[in-house]
Structure 1
Amino acid sequence: MGSAKEYYFDDLGIDQHWVSKTFFTCPECGTDVHQEVEVPEPDYTAEKSRDMVTGGQVEIQCDGCGSVFEGDAWAGPAHCDIELIKYPETHISCDPPGYDRPPEDWYDESEVPDDPFSIFKSNHDELLLLIDTQAKGDGSSLLNRMIFAQILTFLEAYFCDTLITGLREHPMRLAQFAAKDGSIKQTEIKASDVLSDPDHVRKLIEHNLKSRLYHQFGSGKTDKNGKSMPEGVALWYSIAFGFALAPKDDDLEALRRYAALRHDCVHRNGVTKSDEKLTLFDKNFLQEALATANRIVNHVDDKIIKLKDRTNESIL
């Protein structure tokens, strides 16, 4: 485990800030709060996963009433738990901890990169090297499961950043998206906020988009004509840009399968609901999952470029 930790932290030069995406209902005002919270870094020097869990204190501020809640946090490689000190009965849903920028930069304009494609490609190359040099032959190993989960994490980041940057570059599409997206079109906006900040609406929409779960790819349901019904990320991209998320149905189905497997990896320590130990994460599986993610990213980037070209042609 030490070699993997050195690879991520030393070779990649990553400044370590561990966060968990959380959701809870404010116990004081009833507002639904989606927020990234800085949590303790798991101890990857431990030999057993149960010994990697670390504890610490966190603060969470309600977006509605502004109340600040102190809590105790426990973070492991595949799970995170937070309990509010004054309201221990409040349930907080936490994603497994992962890297992010310092908390003061989360809502900065610089948070969304200008070129999500190149960032994914760089991460792709690093992961490919990691699979080749450090992945275990045992398809049930913790390291292999972590690599698999990281493939999905980098893909989620690409989907989020590309959706936001694409809508920034096409204001009319942003307006159309706001009119069609169920979550955004029902958002109440104060006139005073718009008058005090002309970018308030855009920032509000982007904050909404950043809080979404980008491993939701739908159930594969079809309409009465047998046509696939886009849900989750596929639906958001269809509304925003008018193209399919994946180049073929098999790739989208693979994403759904990967999302379910990722859930078992990070929430059940590699065990299914039926108590079956997952052993499929060997090198070949990891390479195929990474290749599928890369193929989808290439497809999306190609569509985004064509969208830009058509816009430039209409301007000329």
Structure 2
Amino acid sequence: MSQRFETHVQFTCPQCAAYASTAVDVPEPDWGGAERMSDLNSEGETEVQCPVCASLFEAYVINSAGDCEVTLKEHPETHVSADTAFYSPEEDDWSDYVLPDDPFSIWKESFEQAQAYLETHGSDDGGALLNRMVFSQHVAALEAFLGDTLLKAVLADPKPLGRLLAGDRELAKEKFTLAEIEASPELIRDRVSAYLADIRYHNLAKVDVLYRTALEIEVLKDQDQREKLFTAIQHRHDCVHRNGRDKANERLTVFTKAYVSETAHLFRMLVERIDTAVSPF
């Protein structure tokens, strides 16, 4: 299991001028050497990626007992609002993960069960807990489909694997010696698997870049759909991290039965389009 020490930031992207909301890694304090809460300080280099246009910004973060300040190095005038630093939920150990034969069928089963539960037990109250739970499940199912589908396609065909190795900036940094490759013939595939497994698949801008790079499939193809998807992902963050409240601690009432169902069908259109496009791989 692994966890990341991070803060959640909001800012207006200097590149695309869109409102951006995303997680940013924070250097961990020296927990063992601290005698008081005021000693739990850390600072260092980090990176901030816009979830809308996928632009990557070098940044510097100062963490003082959990309160964070994040500055974009090349855009110091950009105001970045940062939450208290925290550990992310534990991530699964993917070393023994077995890819499903048909990610679409697993997504479909989740979709149908969640919708049936919403239909039977859902409420017109936009702040209802059950509605939020169903909504969050739909987002989780979408993330799982996107991740499993991409990884399965990349590992099944050397062409998308090669495109990803050549076009992804993080993978392009990897260096292996001939001895390492000889000792582990599956080294490259294993490294790509670990890299793709570590992606946060609710970061749709990043997912779009990966799909376009490896599979030549545009995830965020329709502008109207794109905006609705980004809004839904922000709502998902408010459900998971703020118990259905926004940044100002105001209770969100958007999660009506109709909105949850409408968003679920938006996800369905996206999943069906991707599944059709990825079928040749």
**Superposition TM-score, scaled by structure 2 size:** 0.68
The 1:127–1:84 alpha-carbon spacing in structure 2 relative to 1, beyond 3 Å, is farther
1:264 to 238, 241, 251: 238
How many equivalent pairs are there? 213
Contact 2:127 2:255 in 1 (8 A): yes
Change (3 A) 1:116 1:87: farther
Displacement of 1:109 in angstroms is 5.2
Bigger relative contact order (CA 8 A; separation at least 6): 2
Counterparts of 1:4-43 in structure 2 under 5 Å? 22-24=3-5
Structure 1 segment 24-103 matched on structure 2, within 5 A: 24=5, 86=32, 89=40, 93-96=86-89
Give the whole-Å Cα distance in 2 for the aligned partners of 1:209 and 1:122.
24
Structure 2 residue 101 is matched with structure 1 residue 114: yes
The CA deviation at 1:185 is: 0.7
Confirm whether residue 205 of structure 1 aligns to residue 192 of structure 2.
Answer: yes
Q: 1:194 aligns with which of 181, 187, 193?
A: 181
Aligned partners of 1:22 and 1:285: how far apart in 2? 32
The DSSP-based 3-state class of the residue aligned with 2:126 is coil
State the distance in 2 between where 1:201 and 1:207 align. 10
SS of the residue corresponding to residue 226 of structure 2 reads helix
**Unaligned regions of 5+ residues in structure 2, if any?**
7-27, 35-39, 43-65, 67-84
Contact 1:166 1:304 in 2 (8 A): yes
2:268 is equivalent to residue 294 of structure 1:
yes
Instruction: Assess if the C-alpha contact under 8 Å between 1:167 and 1:173 holds in 2.
Output: yes
Q: Which residue is 2:13 aligned to?
A: none
Q: Secondary structure at the match of 1:292?
A: helix
Shift of 1:246: 4.3
Summarize the alignment of residues 222-301 of structure 1 with structure 2, pairs less than 5 Å apart: 231-246=205-220, 248-301=222-275
Cα distance in 1 between the residues matched to 2:140 and 2:274? 17
Q: Does residue 198 of structure 2 align to residue 216 of structure 1? A: no
CA separation in 1, counterparts of 2:96 and 2:113?
Answer: 27
Checking the alignment, whether the CA contact within 8 Å between 1:120 and 1:155 is kept in structure 2 is: yes
State the distance in 2 between where 1:232 and 1:289 align.
20
8 Å contact 1:181–1:239 — kept in the other structure? Answer: yes
Tell me how far 1:192 sits from its aligned partner: 3.1
For 2:246, the aligned partner's letter is: T
Q: Who is 1:48 aligned against?
A: none
Q: Output one character per residue of 1:52-103: Cα deviation in whole Å (capped at 9) or x when no partner.
A: xxxxxxxxxxxxxxxxxxxxxxxxxxxxxx99974774877544579x6xx5
Contact 1:96 1:266 in 2 (8 A): no
Greater shift after overlay, 183-192 or 164-173?
A: 183-192
**In structure 2, what is the Cα distance between the partners aligned to 1:129 and 1:97?**
30
Taking structure 1 as reference, are residues 251 and 94 closer, same or farther at Cα in structure 2, changes over 3 Å only?
farther
Structure 1 residues 6-37: Cα deviation after superposition (integer angstroms, max 9, x where no partner): xxxxxxxxxxxxx8x72149xxxxxxxxxxxx
Describe the shift of the 1:177–1:97 C-alpha distance in structure 2 as closer, same or farther (beyond 3 A): closer
CA–CA separation in structure 1 for the residues paired with 2:88 and 2:144: 14
